[in-house]
Amino acid sequence: MERLAKEQLVGELKETFNGVMSVVLADYRGTDVNTIVEMRDEFRKADCNYRVLKNSLVKLAIKDSELEPMSALLFGPTAVIWSYESPSAAAKVAVKYAKELKTFSVKGGFFEGEVLDPAGVTMLSKMPGKPECQATLLMTFLAAPTDFVKQIIAGPQNFMYLLDARRRALG
């Protein structure tokens, strides 16, 4: 790769890593091409990016940024996986493949200013994703009006039960 192309790639990577929610670094050594293509597809479905990059170029791209502490994890063959949408999405897919494949392992990651070890990435993968958080928030919004309607209906409903019981007693 020529120097100009490398400088351009470093510039693109700086833009790419600006605003990421989380980054996961993985060792893919020994994983066959078909499996990697399958993994990339699954990462795309989860709104994540999977890319194999030269460690030295990634180190240059993250220099003087909040991601710089992550450079300690950049050694050997490294797949860089990141997400702009959900902090746990990349970790969930990466941990799933790390459990399934002996040739794929999580090296660590980065989330909210912290460098994560493999156990930290596993913990991140257990966090609820964006859809789960949206569903929880929606249910929280709906709970109060639902309970309010139940309270309003309870008085007349109980009165109807009382009249019905009195009718059955007389009749």
Q: According to the model, what pLDDT value does residue 44 have? A: 93
Q: Is 66 helix (H, G, I), strand (E, B) or coil?
A: coil
- 145, 123: one domain: no
Mean pLDDT computed over 4-32: 88
> In this predicted structure, which of 83-87, 131-135, 161-165 has the lowest mean pLDDT?
131-135
Mean pLDDT computed over 83-104: 91
- 79, 142: one domain: no
Tally of domains within the chain:
2
- 55, 112: one domain: yes
Q: Alpha-carbon distance 123 to 101, whole Å?
A: 19
Domain span including residue 169: 130-171
Phi, psi of 144 (to 5 degrees): -65, -50
Q: Residue for token digits 């170029």?
A: 57
Q: Alpha-carbon distance 158 to 165, whole Å?
A: 11
Q: According to the model, what pLDDT value does residue 142 have? A: 80
- 42, 95: one domain: yes
Q: Is 55 helix (H, G, I), strand (E, B) or coil?
A: helix
Q: Is 47 exposed, middle or buried (0-12, 13-18, 19+ CB in 10 A)?
A: middle
Highest mean pLDDT pick, 112-126, 129-143, 146-160: 112-126
Q: Alpha-carbon distance 158 to 143, whole Å?
A: 22
Q: Alpha-carbon distance 68 to 165, whole Å?
A: 74
- 157, 74: one domain: no
pLDDT value at 91 more than 90: yes
| Predicted model pTM | 0.73
- 137, 89: one domain: no
- 122, 141: one domain: no
Q: Domain containing 80 — which CATH number?
A: 3.30.70.1730
Q: Beginning with the edge strand found earlier in the chain, give each strand of the sheet holding 114-116 in spatial order.
A: 48-52, 79-83, 22-27, 105-111, 114-116
- 93, 156: one domain: no
